[in-house]
């Protein structure tokens, strides 16, 4: 699930880990789905990744390589 907050994306997903971690990234690959044409794409994520037991939280920007 993802929502837009202050021009950035806030997303969460399930994971099977139980540790805690905070990661600052500028090129993490993420899967995106374009509902208008049904395409599945890989894009880059720039922001903060927070790993807590059973959940991954992402807050940042998603961009394509062509945007660089």
Q: Give this prediction's pTM.
A: 0.81
* The two three-digit tokens of residue 61, written as one number: 């920007």
Domain tally, the chain:
1
In the chain, % helix, strand, coil (3-state, to 5) comes to 5, 70, 25
Considering only CA atoms, give the Rg of the chain: 13
Domain that holds residue 55: 2-67
From first to last of its 68 residues, the chain has per-residue pLDDT tens of 788 999 999 999 999 999 999 999 998 998 888 888 988 989 999 999 999 999 999 999 999 877 66
Residues contacting residue 56 through CB under 8 Å, at least 6 positions apart: 12, 13, 14, 15, 49, 50
pLDDT number for residue 46? 95
The kind and range of the H/E element at 28 are strand 21-34
């Amino acid at each position: 699930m993802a929502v837009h907050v202050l021009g950035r994306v806030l997303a969460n997903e399930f994971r099977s880990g139980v540790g805690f971690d905070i990661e600052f990234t500028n090129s993490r690959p993420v899967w995106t789905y374009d509902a208008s044409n049904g395409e599945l794409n890989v894009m880059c994520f720039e922001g903060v990744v927070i790993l807590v037991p059973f959940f991954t939280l992402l807050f940042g920007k998603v961009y394509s390589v062509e945007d660089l």
